[in-house]
Chain A
């Protein structure tokens, strides 16, 4: 195996070794079920879960009773959306969300529409931000919930959360955020932001996979969600199922580390990200940064290399460097990323996009190496690209009649 550089931290982060160390005893030495009330094994497990709940609550500056453990952000998204839809059915049936949300939100909303709900999908501007006026105008007397992600997984664009919270407050509607990509990386304080429900997951913040949480506001207002799985009534009746004790312990540790190190990680990574972006933009032609650069996660850059197809480009270096692309080139789907298309990018630039997501373990040397590999890759792909040649000859590509397939 040659060298391997991991720049796909938005897909998942490696577990921090300190997290793994914290988890290990809970697999074997302390095997108890946190719901077992009659022996020390159960008590220990319950204490460990409570401690982790505190660690997570500390990170968010909320009450630990407001943290509901789940299997991950997909489940938390589903629980928040469907749970609110069911619980508040008497109040209304309208939900507002955004076209660039994660599939876990969009598909849960599609299900709600099938159940008779009404969902408004807001457009985003060219920079990926929503228009607050449009959001406010979309609220009706039937609106029960506004669902806006904190930071986008593909572009890293951060929505104006506080302003959205104020609009929700003004109209008396609940505010849910899928904050999966933001928690543990930038401050995400629901109470300061006017958020009533917030989904996040361990494996995007250097914790383990398969464990997540939903923050549910308990006071002013007291928010409730209808459980989406029937069973033993764990997690205050909102989420049944034996708690994943080792996972939760790791998740808690990850939150504790994030609280202590988030600021320094973010500062270091934004320097590296900016270096990567600046090097590529200055050393290659026709490079486009996708999404608002100011309101953006510190470790993310989504970049289009015009007239180069993203998946092919990745193949140039994917034995060594892991990134992802907004291009899809399979017979199942020739459609590029719906997120980039929602930014109005045009399918061709969307097909040419690469997402770099740095992480706690990324080094400057890795970034320098990546720049060199990217330059070689883009130049190779452009030498091969008929549309790059046409572009260089001054052909107006919009006027070419393509034989679409």
Chain B
């Protein structure tokens, strides 16, 4: 199975790897997947006063497609409002990275991680979902 250049680039040179202070009220954290399933994604967003995502970071345990999907997701999140971020669809990730059908679940996991991070942020700040 040959992977797209974009996927390989995100895999070998992932963007926005790291950790944001998870106890900060400005930060929402999504942790999805399980080690037993072979992938765990942690995606974090930092939201400014205007409700715009000013920073996003991730760490992922998983295959190349899972790592590339989360790297791409963090790039897309930066500068988006929470509503726009909520609207990110896994199929857009599939298209951008040309994920093969057996790897679509990696993009689903990335979408789940985005939604989990937003949910966490909203819960912390008492914003109705």
**Chain A residues in the interface with B (C-beta under 8 A):** 307-309, 311-312, 315-316, 327-332, 334, 336, 346-348, 351, 381, 383-389, 397, 402-405
B38, B62, B102 — most chain A CB neighbours (10 Å): B38
Determine if A309 and B101 form an interchain contact, defined as CB atoms under 8 angstroms apart: no
Q: Quick one: closest A residue to B34, CB to CB?
A: A402
24 pairs of residues in contact across A and B, judged by CB atoms under 8 Å: A309-B62, A309-B63, A312-B11, A312-B63, A312-B64, A315-B11, A327-B63, A329-B38, A329-B39, A330-B102, A332-B102, A334-B105, A346-B36, A385-B59, A385-B61, A386-B31, A386-B40, A386-B41, A386-B61, A389-B19, A402-B33, A402-B40, A403-B112, A404-B37
Contact A329 B61 (CB under 8 A): no
Contacting pair B33 A312 (CB below 8 A): no
Most buried by A among B64, B105, B108: B64
B32 on the interface (CB 8 Å rule)? yes
Asked if B78 is an interface residue, CB under 8 A from chain A, the answer is: no
Complex interface: chain B residues within 8 A of A308 (CB): 61
Please tell me if B67 contacts chain A, counting CB pairs below 8 Å. yes
CB–CB A311/B17 < 8 A: no
Q: Given A307-B61, A330-B103, A389-B59, decide whether A403 and B38 contact each other with a Cβ distance below 8 A.
A: no
- Give the chain B neighbours of A348 by CB distance below 8 A: 35-36
Whether A403 contacts B61 by the Cβ 8 Å rule is: no
B44-62 CB mask vs A (1 if < 8 Å, else 0) is 0000000000000001111
Are A309 and B39 in contact, CB atoms less than 8 angstroms apart? yes
**Is B109 in contact with chain A by the CB < 8 A criterion?**
yes
For A328, the chain B residues whose CB sits under 8 A away are 38
> Is B85 at the interface (CB under 8 A from chain A)?
no
Complex Cα spacing A403 to B35, Å: 10
CB distance from B5 to the nearest CB of A (A): 13
Residues of chain A within 8 A (CB-CB) of B62 are 309, 312, 329
**A397 close to B103 (CB less than 8 A):** no
Pair B38/A385 contact, Cβ less than 8 Å: no
Complex: A336 Cα to B60 Cα, angstroms? 18
Pair A402/B35 contact, Cβ less than 8 Å? yes
Q: Is the CB of B102 within 8 A of A387?
A: no
Asked whether B17 lies within 8 Å of A404 as measured between CB atoms, the reply is no
B14, B42, B59, B103: residue with the most chain A Cβ atoms closer than 10 Å? B59
B35 touches A347 (CB 8 A): yes
Q: Using A309-B38, A389-B19 as known contacts, say yes or no to A405 and B112 having CB atoms under 8 A apart.
A: yes
Q: Residues of A contacting B73 with CB < 8 Å?
A: none
CB distance from B3 to the nearest CB of A (A): 8
The distance in angstroms between the C-alpha atoms of A329 and B66, with both chains bound, is 9
Inter-chain contacts of B17 with A (CB < 8 A): 383-384
Count chain A CB atoms within 10 A of each CB in B33, B35, B42, B112 and give the residue with the most: B35
CB contacts (< 8 Å) of A309 on chain B: these are: 38-39, 61-63, 66
Q: Is the pair A403, B59 in contact by a Cβ cutoff of 8 Å? A: no
Given contacts A312-B66, A384-B59, A386-B40, 19 further A-B contacts (CB under 8 A): A309-B62, A311-B63, A311-B64, A315-B63, A327-B38, A329-B38, A329-B63, A332-B102, A334-B38, A351-B36, A384-B60, A385-B60, A387-B40, A397-B35, A402-B34, A403-B32, A404-B33, A404-B37, A405-B34
Residues of A within 8 A of B112 (CB): 403, 405
B19: chain A residues at CB < 8 Å are 389
Contact of A403 among B31, B66, B106 (CB under 8 A): B31
Q: Is B116 an interface residue (CB 8 A)?
A: yes
A-B pairs, top 8 by smallest CB distance, nearest first, are A402-B34, A330-B102, A347-B36, A348-B35, A386-B42, A386-B59, A315-B64, A329-B63
Q: Looking at the assembled complex, report how far the CB atom of A15 sits from the nearest CB atom of chain B, in whole angstroms.
A: 25
Q: Which residues of B contact A307 (CB under 8 A)?
A: 35, 61
**Least Cβ distance of B32 to chain A in Å?**
5
- From A308, A309, A385, A397, name the one whose CB has the most chain B CB atoms within 10 angstroms: A309
Q: How far is the CA of A347 from the CA of B61 in the complex (A)?
A: 14
**B:1-27 near A, CB below 8 Å:** 3, 11-12, 14, 17, 19
Given the known interface contacts A308-B61, A389-B59, the answer about A331 and B35 at a Cβ–Cβ threshold of 8 Å is no
- Checking A316, A331, A387, A404 against B61 with a beta-carbon cut-off of 8 angstroms, the contacting residue is A387
Task: Chain B residues near A403: list those with CB within 8 A.
Answer: 31-34, 112, 116
B104 interface residue (CB < 8 Å to A): yes
Contact A404 B38 (CB under 8 A): no
Q: A331-B104, A389-B19 are in contact. Are A312 and B67 (CB under 8 A)?
A: yes
